[in-house]
């Protein structure tokens, strides 16, 4: 019965359909693709050469495959070795085409590309860029709709109604023995360290970073870029680029990014001095305008004097400050960042002879199952005299494995909370060792939130980091 009238149209229905079809025309025009892009081009120059880092942000509708084009103002400029795009140059006109893995750019998404170039007379920065033929003005162009579209309220994806950690705290600085936020109030940042990004790159993706910011409610993401052990020294441009991408991913989620120049063996930071200068010149130039970057210039010096570490710091810090004058820099300390204790010294050598630069903090590392009361009493004392930052610690033994010592970890973290000392836990990875938060194999999948994917250390750390932050604004 109900279907009897199918196929028969009344006059009224015909009129309604025609009207509907007419109304569809402007409605369709209103959905024509919005386009827009913003480009940040940073060049580090030296006599005859430069490294360019280019951040491309898509402000319009999602694109699948892109070509960025610009013209060099100086005809002597040439693109040399490039990364993350295919480059071609005709005269002064250059195009960079996306690769398979970075061609899709959602609305608001960014990607970073770069190249080494040469110049003859000068190296001025190109002024105009186009993305898929549209000039990047930093704003969005949408064909004017004839029909007013319904406005959907924008939902800001933050876990805290007051804003993300970076939104609340802004540019950090050192005040007295504390890390302070933009209001000059002492704060503590709590988060996780990657494992070596040369080995665990697959663990650092949108889903895992979403879990860290949203489910763990972390404030801090430490990017452990080993220098040796198949790290930075094997491909400086590639590792610089990877670190920059991870900085962007942390920034997009309102987390601070701690850029860790992960020296370990050899323990003398001077062995890597030139690499450190090159690396920090590049990352500080590229990230100077960001508020979420903290620089950690030497993970764990060992077998060297404090005087050597200080001399290294006083050569690397000016390179960073030349580009990013207000950034906080963390300096590693003697004996695997134990403030000297593991080689029979203590914090007094630093107190008596601090790094000659403002806005500097000192690293302290511990592994809870190996380092107990005597290390804690050093930290309790040093915390009143030096700005400390626990850029790395484990809940386990100093090997990265063995027993998870939750009693010692709790004593440590209570001490750090009491002094508002920031910390990053080793590691946000699925390594088989017990210090790793995730069960082995987690990073082959796409689920990172919740406790189902976590090992003992991860369950403990997630609980601890998830507790509400205390970020005073007045
Ligand atoms: C360990 C890793 C382990 C890796 C080893 C050598 O957990 O998988 O094989 O490095 O690269 C540190 C270092 C940190 C160590 C960690 C645990 O900063 O690189 O990671 N640790 O041994 N200092 C004290 C302990």
Q: Which residues are identified as catalytic?
A: 300, 392
Q: Match 């004017």 to its residue by tokens.
A: 144
Q: What does DSSP assign to residue 214?
A: I
CA of 227 from ligand 1 middle (Å) equals 13
Regarding the beta carbon of 264 and ligand 1, being less than 6 Å apart is answered yes
Distance CA 341, CA 266 (A): 19
Regarding the beta carbon of 367 and ligand 1, being less than 6 Å apart is answered yes
Asked if the model's pLDDT at residue 248 lies above 80, the reply is yes
Distance CA 249, CA 110 (A): 9
Dihedral pair phi/psi, residue 364, rounded to 5°: -130, 130
Please give the C-alpha separations between residue 285 and each of 222, 324, 325, in angstroms, as whole numbers: 19, 7, 10
Pairing of strands 67-71, 93-97: antiparallel
Regarding the beta carbon of 398 and ligand 1, being less than 6 Å apart is answered yes
What is the CA 354 to chain-centroid distance, rounded?
28
CA of 399 from ligand 1 middle (Å) equals 6
Predicted confidence band of residue 6 (pLDDT cuts 50, 70, 90): very low
Average pLDDT of the residues of the chain? 90
Predicted confidence band of residue 18 (pLDDT cuts 50, 70, 90): very low
Do 116 and 50 form a contact (C-beta atoms < 8 A)?
yes
What is the CA 131 to chain-centroid distance, rounded?
25
Regarding the beta carbon of 296 and ligand 1, being less than 6 Å apart is answered no
Q: What is the pLDDT of residues 261-312, one digit of tens each?
A: 999 999 999 999 999 999 999 999 999 999 999 999 999 999 999 999 999 9
Global pTM? 0.71
Predicted confidence band of residue 2 (pLDDT cuts 50, 70, 90): very low
DSSP letter string, 285-349: HHHTT-SSEEEE--S---SS-HHHHHHHHHHHHHHHHHH-TT--EEE--HHHHSTTGGGT--THH
Q: Which residue, judged by its Cα, is nearest atom 11 of ligand 1?
A: 229
Predicted confidence band of residue 23 (pLDDT cuts 50, 70, 90): very low
Q: What is the pLDDT of residues 159-178, one digit of tens each?
A: 466 799 999 999 999 999 99
In sequence order, the β-bridge partners of residue 193 are 222, 426
Distance CA 195, CA 401 (A): 13
């Amino acid at each position: 019965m109900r279907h009897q009238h199918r196929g028969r149209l009344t006059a009224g229905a015909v009129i309604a359909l025609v009207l509907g079809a007419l109304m569809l025309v402007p409605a369709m025009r209103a959905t024509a693709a919005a386009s827009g892009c913003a480009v940040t081009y940073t060049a580090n120059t030296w006599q005859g050469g430069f490294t360019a880092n280019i951040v491309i942000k898509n402000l319009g509708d999602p694109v699948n495959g892109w070509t960025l084009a610009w013209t060099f103002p100086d005809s002597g400029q040439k693109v040399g070795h490039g990364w993350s795009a295919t480059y071609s140059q005709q005269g002064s006109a250059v195009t960079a085409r996306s690769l398979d893995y970075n061609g899709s750019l959602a609305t608001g998404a960014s990607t970073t590309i770069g190249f080494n170039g040469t110049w003859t007379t000068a190296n001025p920065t190109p002024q105009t860029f186009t993305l898929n033929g549209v000039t990047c003005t930093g704003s969005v162009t949408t064909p004017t709709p004839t029909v007013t579209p319904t406005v959907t309220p924008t939902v800001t994806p933050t876990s805290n109604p007051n804003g993300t950690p970076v939104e609340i705290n802004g540019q950090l600085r050192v005040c007295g023995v504390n890390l302070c936020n933009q209001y000059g109030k002492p704060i503590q940042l709590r988060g996780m360290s990657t494992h070596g990004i040369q080995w665990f790159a697959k663990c650092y993706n949108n889903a895992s970073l979403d879990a860290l910011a949203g489910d763990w409610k972390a404030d801090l993401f430490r990017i452990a870029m080993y220098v040796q052990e198949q790290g930075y020294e094997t491909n400086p441009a590639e590792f610089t680029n990877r670190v920059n991408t991870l900085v962007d991913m942390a920034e997009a989620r309102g987390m601070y990014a701690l850029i860790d120049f992960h020296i370990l063996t050899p323990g003398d930071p001077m062995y890597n001095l030139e690499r450190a200068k090159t690396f920090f010149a590049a990352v500080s130039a590229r990230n100077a305008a960001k508020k979420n970057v903290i620089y950690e210039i030497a993970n764990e010096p060992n077998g060297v004097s404090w005087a050597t570490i200080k001399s290294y710091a006083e050569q690397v810090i000016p390179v960073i400050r030349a580009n990013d004058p207000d950034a906080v820099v963390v300096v590693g300390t003697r004996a695997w960042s134990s403030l000297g204790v593991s080689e029979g010294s203590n914090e007094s050598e630093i107190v008596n002879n601090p790094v000659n630069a403002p806005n500097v903090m000192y690293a302290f590392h511990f592994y809870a199952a190996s380092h107990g009361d005597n290390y804690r009493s050093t930290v309790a004392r040093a915390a009143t005299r030096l700005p400390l930052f626990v850029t790395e610690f484990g809940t386990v033994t100093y090997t990265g494995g063995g027993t998870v010592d939750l009693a010692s970890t709790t004593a440590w973290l209570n001490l750090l909370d009491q002094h508002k000392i920031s910390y990053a836990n080793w590691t946000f990875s699925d390594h088989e060792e017990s210090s790793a938060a995730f069960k082995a194999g987690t990073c082959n999948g796409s689920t990172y939130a919740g406790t189902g994917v976590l090992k003992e250390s991860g369950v403990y750390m997630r609980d601890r980091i998830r507790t509400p932050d205390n970020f005073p604004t007045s």
